[in-house]
């Protein structure tokens, strides 16, 4: 069996949990407590020298990092349901929208970035929250416009894809930072549609064994 080293509130871990659940792959979950710094422990750095979760450990001990690369691996070992459609243009567009979240929005409100702003630039909770909300809103603006150009339930499809694996954790974070999701009605509707599905319910932060740690 594979092991997912993750954390309940980590959006990158949440992406992988959704991908696993959509594909019906059961893994062992091991919590890496980001609040007590366990991601920088010797044991975790041996898994991922970057000191981040998630890490997916395969049955033979191989360790995979980076949530999008892990989702790509899952799509390679378990073809259905596919996280990226076969159509080349749709594939590229869904990947691009996913990267807006994973490459452009999420990294600038990562725990270590927020800690750095607090510690090295003397910013308090209000300023840090405002920073995170600003960058999420700025990224969501473009995504909302893109999403509105399709009439599908999810971004470009009638089944969730890689994009929804990225969006739902980012909306979870947006709400934590006080972003008004009413400003982004199409993204809000996609989030609501996903939240009805068992794979997304099972993967939600509050439903993890380490929730509230
Ligand atoms: N690009 C990476 C990002 C991973 C990442 O940022 N993980 C966060 C949690 S969501 C983390 O481990 N943060 C620990 C820290 O900042 O110290 C991925 O997609 O896997």
What mean pLDDT do residues 98-115 have?
Answer: 94
Residue in 71, 102, 84 with CA at minimum distance from that of residue 156: 84
Report the CATH fold assignment for 3-81+200-207.
Glutaredoxin (3.40.30)
Determine which residue's CA is closest to atom 11 belonging to ligand 1. 52
Q: Give the model's pLDDT for residue 71.
A: 98
CB 179 within 8 A of CB 134: no
Q: 67 C-alpha vs ligand 1 centroid, how far in Å?
A: 9
CB 98 within 8 A of CB 163: yes
CB 140 within 8 A of CB 148: no
Q: Give the model's pLDDT for residue 212.
A: 85
The model's confidence at residue 157, banded by pLDDT at 50, 70 and 90, is very high
Cross-strand bridge partners of residue 6: 31
Alpha-carbon gap, residue 21 to 33, rounded angstroms: 22
Residue-wise pLDDT for 34-92, tens only, equals: 999 999 999 999 999 999 999 999 999 999 999 999 999 999 999 899 999 999 999 99
Residue-wise pLDDT for 183-202, tens only, equals: 999 999 999 999 999 999 99
CB 161 within 8 A of CB 19: no
Helix, strand, or coil here: 6? strand
Cross-strand bridge partners of residue 5: 30, 55
Residue among 48, 55, 74, 110 whose CB has most ligand 1 atoms within 8 A, to mutate: 110
Q: 53 C-alpha vs ligand 1 centroid, how far in Å?
A: 5
3-state helix, strand, coil in the chain (%, to 5): 60, 5, 35
% of the chain beyond a pLDDT of 70 = 100
Q: 149 C-alpha vs ligand 1 centroid, how far in Å?
A: 31
Q: 150 C-alpha vs ligand 1 centroid, how far in Å?
A: 30
What mean pLDDT do residues 150-175 have?
Answer: 98
The model's confidence at residue 108, banded by pLDDT at 50, 70 and 90, is very high
- Strands ordered across the beta sheet of 3-6: 28-31, 3-6, 55-57, 63-65
**Which CATH code for domain 88-197?**
1.20.1050.10
Instruction: Indicate yes or no: pTM above 0.95.
Output: yes
For residue 213, pLDDT beyond 80:
no
- Phi, psi dihedral angles at 53 (to 5 degrees): -105, 155
CB 13 within 8 A of CB 4: yes
The model's confidence at residue 21, banded by pLDDT at 50, 70 and 90, is very high
Alpha-carbon gap, residue 6 to 86, rounded angstroms: 30
What mean pLDDT do residues 3-12 have?
Answer: 98
- Domain extents for the chain? 3-81+200-207, 88-197
For residue 96, pLDDT beyond 90:
yes
Peptide bond into 54 cis (omega under 30): yes
């Amino acid at each position: 069996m594979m092991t997912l080293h993750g954390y309940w509130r980590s959006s990158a871990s949440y992406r992988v949990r959704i991908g696993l659940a959509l594909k019906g792959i059961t893994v062992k979950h091991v919590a890496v407590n980001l609040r007590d710094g366990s991601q920088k422990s010797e044991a975790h750095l041996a898994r991922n020298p970057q000191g981040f979760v998630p890490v997916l450990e395969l049955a033979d001990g191989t360790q995979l990092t980076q949530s999008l690369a892990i989702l790509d691996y899952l799509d390679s070992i378990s073809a259905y349901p596919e996280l990226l459609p076969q159509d080349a243009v749709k594939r590229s567009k869904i990947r691009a929208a996913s990267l807006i979240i994973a490459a452009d929005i999420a990294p600038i409100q990562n725990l270590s970035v927020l800690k750095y702003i607090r510690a090295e630039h003397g910013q308090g909770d209000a300023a840090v929250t405002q920073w995170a909300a600003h960058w999420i809103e700025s990224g969501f603006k473009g995504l909302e416009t893109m999403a509105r150009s399709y009439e599908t339930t999810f971004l470009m499809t009638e089944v969730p894809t890689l994009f929804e694996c990225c969006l739902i954790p980012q909306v979870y974070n947006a709400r934590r930072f006080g972003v008004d999701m009413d400003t982004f009605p199409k993204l809000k509707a996609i989030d609501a549609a996903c939240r009805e599905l068992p794979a997304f319910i099972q993967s939600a932060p509050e439903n993890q064994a380490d929730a509230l740690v």
